Amino acid sequence: MAKARPLFERVFLGINLVLWLIFLLILLISFTPLNDYMLRPLHIAEEVRQADAIVVLGGGIDRGRFLSPQSAQRLLRGAQLYYGGWAPKILFAGGDTAQVGIPEALIFAQEARKLKILERDILVEKNAIDTREQVLEVKKIADKNKWQNLLIVTSYIQMKRALLALENLGLKVYPAPADPYEKYAHNALVRLQVFGQIVREYGAIIYYKVRGWI
Give the β-pairing of 61-62 and 66-67: antiparallel
Complete domains list, the chain, with CATH = 53-181 (3.40.50.620)
Q: How many CB atoms lie within 10 A of CB 179?
A: 18
Residue closest to 54 by CA, chosen among 134, 155, 149, 188: 149
Q: Is 177 left (phi over 0), alpha (psi -120 to 50) or beta?
A: beta
Beta strands in 69-161 (DSSP E): 90-93, 122-125, 149-153
**Spatial contact of 91 and 82, defined as CB atoms under 8 Å apart:** no
CA-to-CA separations, 175 to 81, 94, 128, 180, 194, in angstroms, rounded: 12, 18, 20, 12, 21
Of residues 109 and 1, which shows the higher confidence score?
A: 109
CA-to-CA separations, 38 to 29, 79, 102, 151, 181, in angstroms, rounded: 10, 30, 35, 25, 12
pLDDT-derived band of residue 125, with 50, 70 and 90 as boundaries? very high
Per residue in 32-74, pLDDT tens? Answer: 667 778 888 888 889 999 999 999 998 888 766 788 888 899 9
Range from 19-28, 68-77, 103-112, 135-144 carrying the lowest mean pLDDT: 19-28
Which pTM was predicted?
0.82
**Spatial contact of 54 and 142, defined as CB atoms under 8 Å apart:** no
Q: How many CB atoms lie within 10 A of CB 4?
A: 8
Of residues 13 and 157, which shows the higher confidence score?
A: 157
Q: What is the largest CA-CA distance in the chain?
A: 84
